[in-house]
Structure 1
Amino acid sequence: MRLTGKWNFLYFIGIILLLWSCSNDDGPGYQEPYIPGPGNSEKLSDAALLEKVQQQTFKYFWEFAGTNSGLAKERSQADAYGGEGKNIVTMGGSGFGLAAFPVAVERGWISKAQAVQRLEKILNFLETVPTYHGAFSHWYLDNTAKTRPFGNMDDGGDLVETAFLMQGLLINRQYFSDEASIVNRITKLWEAVEWDWYTRGENVLYWHWSPNFGFQKNLKIQGWNESLIVYVLAASSPTHSIEPEVYHQGWASGGGMVTNRSHYGHSLPLGPGFGGPLFFSHYSFIGLNPTNLSDRYANYWQQNKAHSLIHYNYSIDNPKNYKGYSENSWGLTASDSYQGYEAHSPTNDKGVITPTAALSSFPYTPVESMKALRYFYEQQGGKLWGPYGFYDAFSEEHNWVANGYLAIDQGPIISMIENYRTGLVWNLFMADEEVQAGLTRLDFNY
C-alpha cells in the first residue's frame, strides 16, 4: 500500500525515531541496554563489544553499590543470606570494583570528579568499620558499618579479602596521585594492615583472626591458589612487612607447590590437576602483571596462559558430554550453579559455564575468549545478558541461568579485559614503588 499525505509524513517521522532510539552508544548518558536474543543478535565490532561488556558490568559497582558505603554488594539477590543480601558489602569484590574506577574514568563512563566523590564515600566507610590488626573482615553491613560474620569462627580479619581490597585501593592511589586527601587516606589504611602479625611468629601467613576465636580457624595461606597477591602486598608493606622466608616456606612450601603437570599439551608449573578453577589466574593478577613475572617457582605468564588453554581444550574435549560445551562456550570457575555455589573446575565439573572464567582470561587467550564472548552475547544474550552484564553462570545441560550477579565474579571482567586492551590496571599497580620493592624483596623478576 502506498502512503501519501500525512501518513507519509508520520511514516517518515517514525523511521527517524526508530533510528534515533537504536543509536545508543552506551555513553555517560545511560539508556536502557539493547538486550539481544537468539536469532536477533546485535552485531558489534570486537572493540565495541568489549567496551559494551566492560561498561555494562561496571554498572554493578557504580549503580548498584551500597547506599551508605558505596562499596560492592556481595551479590544482587536481595533475599540472599536470610534477607540480608541487599545490605551485605564485600571487601574482596569491592577491591575488584575499585580497580575498575580508573578504567571508567579513562573511558568516559564517569568523570574524575564523580570517581573522587565515590572514593571519598568509600573511604569514609572503611575508616569507620572495625578492623582486626589493620585487616578488614570479609563482609560488613552497609547500614551499620558492623562486621557481618562470613562463617563459623570467621567474624574478624580476613587477610585474603583485605589483600584484594588493598590491591584496588593502591591502584586508585596511583591513578589519583594528584588528589592529596585520597592518597593520604588510602596510605593510612594500607600502612595499618599488620601483615607480619598474621604470621603468628611462623614462616607462613594465616587467613583469619577473630577477637572471639583468635586463630582457631587455623587456615594457612599456601599456594597454589588465588592468594599470591597476599604475599606480594605483605612483602611490600612499608610498616609491617614479612620476611622473605615467610613467602618461600609458607606460600611456596619450600618449593612443594611446584607440581609440573601437563594437560592437552600445555605445561602447568603450579596447582592441582587441570589447574583448578580459573579464578586462580585472575584475582591476584588484576593488578599484578604476569607478562614478565617469574620467580624460582614459575613463569606466571606461562602458568596463567596454560591454565586458560587447558580449560578451553577441556570444554572442547567435553569428557562428560555436557550440552553446550564447545570451543565457543568454555570456562569453569567458582560461581553459582543450579545446585548452589560451587568451585567449578575440570575435576569438579557440574555442566555449568561461568562467563567470568573465559572473559577474565582475555589477556591470556584473546582469540579463544572472543569466541566465548560472542557466543555468550550473540547466542545466549536473550537469557544471559542483563542490567549488569552477563548473569553469573548458566548450564545448557540443565536449562538453567543464574538469577543474579556476584561481585567477585563481575569485578575481574572489567579490569582483565582492560589489561588486554591497554594494560592500564597492570601499569598503575606495577608503577607503585612499594610494590616494586616487595617484588624485589621476594626475588621476583618483573
Structure 2
Amino acid sequence: MPHLTRRALLAHGAGLALASAWPGQAALAAAAQPADAFLDDLERRTFDFFWETTDARTGLAPDRWPTPSFASIAAVGFALTAYPIGVARGYITRAQARERTLTTLRFFAGLPQGPGRRGVAGYKGFFYHFLDMKEGLRYAECELSTVDTALLLMGALHAQSFFDGTHADEARIRALVDRLYGRVDWAWAQVRPPSISHGWTPEQGFIPSDWKGYNEAMMVYLLALGSPTRPVKAEAWDAWTSTYDRDSWGESYGQTLLRFPPLFGHQFTHCWVDFRGIRDAYMRAKGFDYFENSRRATYAQQAYAAANPLGWQGYSAEVWGVSASDGPADVTLAYRTTGGQIEQRRFISYAGRGMGLYDDGTLAPYAAGSSIAFTPEIVIPALQAIKARYPHTWGRYGFWDAFNPSFNYPDIKLTHGRIEPGQGWVDTDMLGIDQGPMLAMLGNHRGELVWQALRKNAHLVKGLKRAGFSGGWLG
C-alpha cells in the first residue's frame, strides 16, 4: 500500500468499525478509582510539555521536542487551550496564563500578512502551517493551511471564553481573538464554492482538494459559518456532509458509523465542541450524534487491535491506537507475523496511519488517550497497559509520540527514535499536535474544562446553529 500522508488520507473513505456497548456504572467506577493518580501524573506532564517548551517571548509552540524544529500553528492552538486547563488544575495562576495568552495573541496579531513567498506569516487572515521558531515567519515552502489555522483559532476561542473577567488584559485577550478571527477571509478559500480548500501556496496557488467529510475538518466549517465578519453561506455545511454517504458511512464489525481510519479525525474538533446531544440534519436522520460516532470509532480501534489481522506484535484489546504519528523509517523489510509467516512489510517514518488503510505496526498512545472522554472504560486501561508493558514509552512530558513493538531491526538507519532492545522501536520526540488533543480530552473527561468554556462562546454557537445543529445544550 502506498505511503499516505495525513492530508492524502482525507481523499479516502476507507475506515473501520467498532463493537461493544457501554459497561455498567459499577465497572466504570472500578476502573476509574485506581487510575486517578496515573491520570493526575499524565495530565500534569502533558501540560508541562506546552508550558515549558513554548517560547514565553512569542507564544510559538514547537512542532516537536526535543528535536529542534519549526513552530506549528496547530500546536499553538493546543497550547492556548492548555493554559486554562493549567489554571483549573492549579499548575499555574490565572495571571500567568493570562500573560502567556496575551503575549501569544499579540504576537500573532502583529505578524505580517501578504501574498509574498518570504517575510510573511500568512495571507487573507490564514496562517502558514509552520512558522520559523524565532521570527514567526513562513517556514520553507509550507502551505497556507485552512485546517491548521482553524486549530489555532479554536484555541483562541477557548481563551476568549475562559478569560471573561474585568481585568484589562482579559478584555484585551477577547478583543485580539475577535481581531484574529474576524480578518480570516473564508470566502477567498472557497475556490470551488461552497467547499473550502485545504490551502494555498504562492508558488502553486490553491491546493486541488477541498475539505469534505468525514474527518477532523468539521471545525473549519463551523468557524467559517460562525465568523463575526465574513461568514460563509449555510450551504457550505451541506457541501461538507454531501460526501458522507459516498465515502464515510458504512458498517464494520457489525456496527454502523461515519468512518475515518485514523483516530485523530474523530477527536480533533471534539476537543473544543461538546457534541453530546446536539445533531445536524444528517445525524438526526441517523439517530445519534457525533459524540456517539466517535465512541463507536474508538471501540473499532480496540476491536481491530484485538483481531490483529496483519499479525503485528503487541496488538491486543489492552494495547491499541493507530493514528497519524511518527514511525521508525521509510523502508521495506521481511517481517515475521505473530502467526509465523514471513512477509515483506513497508514501514514509514511519518504517516497518517489508520486501521484498514495503512498500518505498519506503529501505535500512538495519544490515539487512545485522546478518546478518554468518549470511552474512559477502555482508554484508561489501555494507557496503563502501555506504560506498564512498554515503560520506555514514558518520559518527562508523558508518553513519547509512538512505538512499534514489531520493528526489531537494529541495523536499519532510523528516521526517528531508537530501538529498545527486545521491545522494538520507540520515538524520542513528542509532537505538539498529538500532545494537545490528549490534554484537552483529559480536561473534558475530568471536569468538561474545555467544553464548558466553549459552550458559551457566541461565535461557536452561531456556527453550530447555522450548520443546522439543535438539541441538547444548544436548545
The secondary structure found in structure 1 opposite 2:281 is: coil
Q: Per the alignment, do residues 255 and 145 of structure 1 end up closer, same or farther by CA in structure 2, a change over 3 Å counting? A: closer
Q: Is the 8 A contact 1:139 1:150 kept in 2?
A: no
Instruction: Determine the C-alpha separation between the residues in 2 that align with 1:149 and 1:427.
Output: 38
2:179 maps to 188
Q: How does 1:221-370 map to 2 (within 5 A)?
A: 221-249=211-239, 251-253=240-242, 256=245, 259-268=248-257, 270-271=258-259, 275-298=260-283, 299-339=289-329, 340-347=349-356, 348-370=358-380
Q: Is the 8 A contact 1:75 1:404 kept in 2?
A: yes
Q: Is the 8 A contact 2:215 2:265 kept in 1?
A: yes
2:95 maps to 113
CA drift of 1:210 comes to 3.0
Query: Gaps spanning 5+ residues in structure 1: where?
Result: 1-43, 79-84
Q: Is the 8 A contact 1:327 1:371 kept in 2?
A: no
Which stretch has the larger CA shift, 304-313 or 318-327? 318-327
Q: How does 1:52-71 map to 2 (within 5 A)?
A: 52-66=41-55, 68-71=57-60
Instruction: Determine the C-alpha separation between the residues in 2 that align with 1:414 and 1:242.
Output: 31
Higher strand share: 2
Q: Is the 8 A contact 1:248 1:254 kept in 2?
A: no
Q: Is the 8 A contact 1:134 1:192 kept in 2?
A: yes
Q: Which amino acid aligns with 1:224?
A: Y
CA drift of 1:200 comes to 2.9
CA drift of 1:202 comes to 1.5
The secondary structure found in structure 2 opposite 1:48 is: helix
2:337 maps to none
Q: Deviation string for 1:6-49 (max 9, x for gaps)?
A: xxxxxxxxxxxxxxxxxxxxxxxxxxxxxxxxxxxxxx931221
Instruction: Determine the C-alpha separation between the residues in 2 that align with 1:373 and 1:109.
Output: 22
Q: Per the alignment, do residues 68 and 310 of structure 1 end up closer, same or farther by CA in structure 2, a change over 3 Å counting? A: same
Q: How does 1:40-79 map to 2 (within 5 A)?
A: 45-66=34-55, 68-78=57-67
CA drift of 1:296 comes to 2.1
Identity between Structure 1 and Structure 2 (%): 31
Query: Gaps spanning 5+ residues in structure 2: where?
Result: 1-32, 114-121, 284-288, 330-348, 408-423
Q: Deviation string for 1:422-444 (max 9, x for gaps)?
A: 11101111211221111111111
Q: Is the 8 A contact 2:324 2:350 kept in 1?
A: yes
Q: Is the 8 A contact 1:277 1:344 kept in 2?
A: yes
The secondary structure found in structure 2 opposite 1:218 is: coil
* Paired positions, count: 385
1:142 maps to 133
2:456 maps to 431
CA drift of 1:257 comes to 5.1
CA drift of 1:214 comes to 2.8
Q: Is the 8 A contact 2:262 2:324 kept in 1?
A: yes
| 1:219 and 2:209 aligned | yes
| 1:128 and 2:118 aligned | no
CA drift of 1:201 comes to 6.6
Q: Which amino acid aligns with 1:334?
A: A
2:435 maps to 410
CA drift of 1:235 comes to 0.4
Q: Deviation string for 1:391-439 (max 9, x for gaps)?
A: 0001112201001111111111111111111111011112112211111
Per the normalisation by structure 1, the TM-score is 0.83
CA drift of 1:334 comes to 0.2
Q: Deviation string for 1:263-317 (max 9, x for gaps)?
A: 223321x23xxx3100011111110112123212232022111110000111011
Instruction: Determine the C-alpha separation between the residues in 2 that align with 1:363 and 1:263.
Output: 23
CA RMSD of aligned residues (A): 1.7
| 1:385 and 2:394 aligned | yes
Q: Is the 8 A contact 2:213 2:243 kept in 1?
A: no
Instruction: Determine the C-alpha separation between the residues in 1 that align with 2:124 and 2:263.
Output: 31
Per the normalisation by structure 2, the TM-score is 0.78
Instruction: Determine the C-alpha separation between the residues in 2 that align with 1:122 and 1:351.
Output: 38
Instruction: Determine the C-alpha separation between the residues in 2 that align with 1:199 and 1:279.
Output: 24
